A and B are shown apart, each in its own frame.
Chain A
Amino acid sequence: MNVLMQRELEGELASDLKERIIYYAMYGTVLIVLTWLLGPRVLDWFSIMGMNRFVSVMAIIVVSSTINEKLKNDSSNRQMSFLQTLPVPKSQLVHAKFLHMLLMWAMAFVWLSAVTSVNLLLNGSWTFELWTHVWGFTSASLFIQAMALLCYFSKGYRGVQAVFYLSALAWAAIFIPLGLTLKETGLSKGELWGTALIAAFIICGISWRIAVRKVNARGIPEENRDDFVTDEVY
């Protein structure tokens, strides 16, 4: 399992951890300075929460793209087929993908929490309620990626990109209206985004379990060199 995880993390952590930390710290610092410059302290073009939302969306896109790219590369190089020729249970291949996704999510959560909190502290005022928007965005990220992985292990890479967009739309269709009608529902922001995060974790757990069961029963969908076509080679 360790070897499979190292393989998944190649490019994120395994080879150049120090470089990555410096890169994301710099990236976060630039965003904080931008918020200071464009926010109410100097130019007053954007609100702090507007900037934080922008940073959060960027973080979701970066994490989703990283995972999507990994799945695409694996598929185009037929790496799931290769891994299945090794003496390792298929369920571990599923575990490695989901654990990698959770680790990426956790890193994004920590980074996003740090950047948005510093933003609030330096350019406005930090409150728990304001900070909980990170839960909302990261719940979307977790939900989208769990759905994408479930699709990957059920149908192969072909449907993954469509699932990314459809899951994002589904999440937005549920939680954005709820967010806009908070006063009517009587929920606080913390309660809403906390519920979203718990729901995302439950859905992720269920997707993980279904993926393992599907793979054990039916195997991993066949890959083709160009990812998108799964013409059978008899």
Chain B
Amino acid sequence: MTHNNEQLLLDVRHLTKTYPDFQLKDVNVSLPAGTIMGFLGRNGAGKSTTMKAIMDLIKPDEGAIHILGMPMPEEEVAVKEQVGYVGDTPLLNNAWTMEQTLRFARQFYPNWNEEAVEQNLERFAIAKDKKISALSKGMKVKASLILATAHEPKLLLLDEPTSGLDPVVRTEVLEMLLDFVQDENRSVLFSSHITSDVEKIADWVTVLDDGHIVFSEDKESLLDRYRRIVIPGKSGQQATDSPLLFHCQATAGGYIGYTDRFQQFRKFATGNWHAERLTLEELFVLLTGRKEA
């Protein structure tokens, strides 16, 4: 992924981490300001490992990570003043109330925005005196988001925040993220295996599969580039020999293939065919070579 002359809030180079049964291989991610990057991948693809390595919650074997131009973990303290993180499970102390949690965290941040915290508590209807253990899963995610954004970070890292939430709560969380990037100096790296969430809010899509990056591209150009080509009738078999098509297969009514160079295909293709735009989910399944997301 390249971003010409843009200020990179996150720059991950050749990140590698090996576990006995899994390897994250040469992951490169760069995120300019004002961007929401959807970090897609099946469960176990390496999204959480990448996120944790970025936050220095785990030590990578190889690779370099720069956040706001500062190297991690060397500038860990300065970096973390500018970064918000929501883990794959809420990192909240169940024995505390929301008030205790906020009171504790605010002491670490010079740019803590109490007004924004109050607004968000009201927006999500979270009572400050309620114990964390009494909050539902959705409320805990919202509480984590409030905590992660209270110090007005430049970069927000969200590890599967909408996983397991009902559609109403997911929408509320996504709306909050969209509000967050209204300030164009901020960015979000948002990991998920729910492609519809990523499709709704992301500008950029990075797909991770089995520990390596499959592609990382601007969402719109990605969706513009790929098409499902439907060739009706049995006479269309010859068309499937085109080098611009892949994953061609016969169907009851003819043939289906896919192209990742639709503009080129359109120029040269002859005969009877039509193109269908793919959803991000269809594209994700197609490129990761599996049947379910």
Contact = CB atoms under 8 A, between A and B. Distances in A.
B48 A233 contact: yes
B78 A84 contact: no
B89 A225 contact: yes
Nearest to A217: B59
B72 to A, nearest CB: 12
Contacts of A233: 48, 88
Given A73-B95, A77-B94, A77-B95, A87 B109 contact: yes
Contacts of B107: 3
Interface in B77-102: 77-81, 83, 85, 87-89, 91-95
Given A85-B91, A87-B77, A219-B59, A232 B104 contact: no
A89 interface: yes
B45 A234 contact: yes
Contacts of B79: 87
Interface string A40-76: 0000000000000000000000000000000001001
B93 A79 contact: yes
How many chain B residues sit at the interface, stated as a range, is: 35 or more
Given A3-B104, A87-B108, A233-B48, A82 B92 contact: yes
Interface residues of A, number: 25
Contact of A234 (B22, B77, B87): B22
A110 interface: no
A62 to B, nearest CB: 20
B104 A78 contact: no
Contact of B93 (A77, A87, A219): A77
A232 B91 contact: no
Interface in B25-82: 44-49, 52, 55-59, 76-81
A232 B44 CA distance: 9
Nearest to B44: A234
21 contacts: A3-B104, A78-B91, A81-B57, A81-B91, A84-B57, A85-B83, A85-B87, A85-B91, A86-B105, A87-B77, A87-B80, A88-B108, A89-B76, A219-B56, A219-B57, A220-B57, A232-B19, A232-B49, A233-B88, A234-B19, A234-B211
Interface of B: 19, 22, 24, 44-49, 52, 55-59, 76-81, 83, 85, 87-89, 91-95, 104-105, 107-109, 211
Given A87-B108, A218-B59, A234-B22, 20 more contacts: A3-B108, A73-B93, A77-B92, A77-B93, A77-B94, A77-B95, A78-B87, A81-B87, A82-B92, A84-B55, A86-B105, A87-B76, A87-B78, A87-B81, A89-B77, A219-B58, A225-B89, A232-B19, A234-B24, A234-B211
